[in-house]
Every structure is written in structure tokens, then in C-alpha cells.
Chains A and B, each alone.
Chain A
Amino acid sequence: MLILHCPYCGVKGEETEFAPGGEAHLARHGPGSTDDDFKSYLFSRKNPRGVHFERWRHASGCGKWFHAARATDTLEVYATYKAQTLAPPKQVLDIIAKKRPGWNI
């Protein structure tokens, strides 16, 4: 079970209060993009054993979308951060780097 901290309403809740939204930081490739880009945007998702960036929604709470950085193998949640960003913020990467030496995005 994951314990997530909602960066919008400050609630520390457990997984069942939230709804998962899949991989975070996808770049959208819409009309006008190459077939390969479009295909990978639609169908290809990372499935790492280790650090993963995900989108979550505080479904039973404030209803906001946010991001979480967590480990898929240990279920450790490194950090959660707001959705208004295109890439993981530096402080989140620092936390992960500290806990997982040698890890690269």
C-alpha cells in the first residue's frame, strides 16, 4: 500500500483515497507529428523496475491531479509534487539520487 501526500490539500492519505493516472511527463504528439512519435505517445509506456514518475488524482479528496515519484520494486514514495510542471523538479531528483545512488532519469 502506498502512502501519498497530496501537494494541494496537504492530506497524507493512503492509496485507496487516490486514483492512479499512469505515467507522468508524457509529451503529447498530436496532428502533424510523425507516425512513430504518435504511436509511441499513444501506446508506449515505461514499465521500469525501480524509480517511476506517475500521475495521481486525489479522487476522494480535493480532486486535484498531482505527480508522484515512487519505486515500483519497494513501493517507497520518494516525493509528490504539483502537476504544473513538465519534468520532475530538481529537489525531487535530489531526493531520489540520495536514496538510489547511481540512478539516472
Chain B
Amino acid sequence: MSDAISALNHAQFTGFAEVEECGLQGMITLRGDLTSKPLIAGARTAGGRDGRDGKMPKMGMAEVAISVADRNGVCWMSPDEVLVLCPYDKVEAQLMALTTKLGKTHALAVNVSDARAMFRVSGGTAAREVLAKLCPVDMSPGAFKPGMFRRTRMAQVAAAFWMDDSEDIYIICFRSVAQYVFDLLKIAAQPGSQVGVY
């Protein structure tokens, strides 16, 4: 089989914040009743969150760990939808495990890995500033905190992002607009264009 390659294949840009395309990321969209036990169990297993307290992330939150060793997580998307993150090469197996856990529960789980692109913006408050230029979201440290997840728009396209514990911001968008989003981020992170509000 041919090699799978992400939309921009780890493209990078360094301005006053670092922008990087994160490469392939397994993603499963899961819709259904988020209080249903099989659905919670399935989402946590598929998202590699087995050892935690066994709950769904709360409204507007995400539990994600992206590192060299770990690319797992569960993100709250809407009252009836979560996004399950897992390593790209394990997504089919995790989807199968999830579907098995769901059993006859009324739910929908689909592998959407190849329909998405993921970016990381790092640089602490600089990263906040890059996002604040593009999204109608209050990015001040008092309002947007690590662990929070937000679906919104970036300039003209839909996007979602969360912040991890080291205040890096991860952005998910559709693969078809990956170049557009990367260009936006590059312009917003241009050296010398800091506003310095945070």
C-alpha cells in the first residue's frame, strides 16, 4: 500500500510563535448519548484514557496527550459528539474495539483521520496571540486555560483547538483547508506583528 501522508507533511514556520503541521493523527468521530455507559467506556478505551476516572470530558474540555510516545485523547465536541484521538496506525483497530464496546447502543463511530489536518502553535502567550488574531475567542490566560477545547472558526473556515498543559495550542481543521489554515497561522505569527496584549 502507498504511504499515507498528512496534508502538509510536517510543514513548519517560525515567527514570533512556532507553527507546525503535526503529521498523521488518528481521529474517530463518535456521536450518541454521551451519558451512555458503553459509549463512555468505548470512547475512553479508543482514546487511550483507560486508567482515568472513567468519565467523559466535561462540556468544552478535552483530555489529550500528544507527545512522541502518546497521541491519544477524547475531546468534547457538542452535547452529543466527542472526538476520539489515537495513533494513526491504530485507528482501524481502535474503531473496531470501540464498535465492539458500543454493541447495540445507538451511536455512530467513523474514522475521519484522512479528512482532517492538525497543527500545533507553540510559544506560550505568543501562541495565544496568534489564535486571538484569527478566532472570535477570548484567549486571555484567565479565560482560556489548558485542557479547554473550543470549536469555532478561523477567519473563514471551521476549526477546533485545545490547549495542553505546556500551553501549546493544537488546532484541528478539515484537510481540504489545511493550506489555508497554515497560511493564516503564518501571517498571524509573522515576526514583528506581535500585539503584546497578553
Contact = CB atoms under 8 A, between A and B. Distances in A.
Contacts of A21: none
A17 B158 CA distance: 9
B150 interface: yes
Interface stretch (A33-41, A42-50, A57-65): A57-65
Q: Is the interface of A mostly helix, strand, loop or mixed?
A: loop
A13 interface: yes
Interface string B86-122: 0000000000000000000000000000000000000
A60 B153 CA distance: 6
B79 A9 contact: yes
B145 interface: no
A11 interface: yes
Contacts of B79: 8-9, 62, 64
B152 A61 contact: yes
Q: Is the interface of B mostly helix, strand, loop or mixed?
A: strand
Range, interface on chain A: 10 to 19
Nearest to A8: B79
Range, interface on chain B: 10 to 19
Interface in A76-103: none
Contacts of A11: 60, 150-152
Interface string A1-30: 000000011110110110000000000000
Interface of B: 59-60, 77-79, 81, 136-137, 150-153, 158
Question: What 9 pairs across the A-B complex have the smallest Cβ distances?
Answer: A62-B78, A60-B153, A61-B151, A14-B136, A8-B79, A10-B59, A60-B158, A60-B152, A17-B136
14 contacts: A8-B78, A8-B79, A9-B78, A11-B150, A11-B152, A13-B152, A16-B153, A17-B136, A17-B152, A60-B151, A61-B152, A62-B79, A62-B151, A64-B78
